[in-house]
């Protein structure tokens, strides 16, 4: 959680000078989703991953 807070602070400071902050954030999100999907898939395949459908749904919704 601490690292997440530091990363969010850094992201906020870097984004302060953006001319279109919403578009910039949307672009960053769109570029991150494929990387997260690959990481999740690798984790699920390479480990003894036991996910419950309700847990996955809650993770996606949050």
Q: Is residue 7 part of a domain?
A: no
Q: Is residue 15 part of a domain?
A: no
Among 53, 23, 26, CA closest to 61: 53
**Could you read off the pLDDT of 1-50 as tens digits, one per residue?**
999 999 999 989 988 888 998 999 999 999 999 999 999 899 888 888 78
**Could you read off the pLDDT of 49-61 as tens digits, one per residue?**
788 899 989 988 9
Domain count, the chain: 1
**Tokens at 5, concatenated:** 């807070």
Q: What is the pLDDT of residue 56?
A: 86
Q: What is the pLDDT of residue 15?
A: 86
Helix (H, G, I), strand (E, B), or coil: what is residue 61?
helix
List the domain range (segments joined by +) for residue 37.
21-62
- pTM reported for the whole predicted model: 0.58
């Amino acid at each position: 959680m601490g690292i997440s807070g530091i990363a969010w602070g850094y992201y906020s400071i870097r984004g302060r000078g953006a001319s279109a902050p919403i578009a910039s954030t949307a672009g960053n999100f769109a570029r991150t989703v494929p990387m997260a999907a690959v990481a999740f898939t690798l984790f699920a395949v390479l480990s003894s991953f036991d996910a419950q459908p309700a847990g996955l749904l809650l993770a996606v919704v949050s």
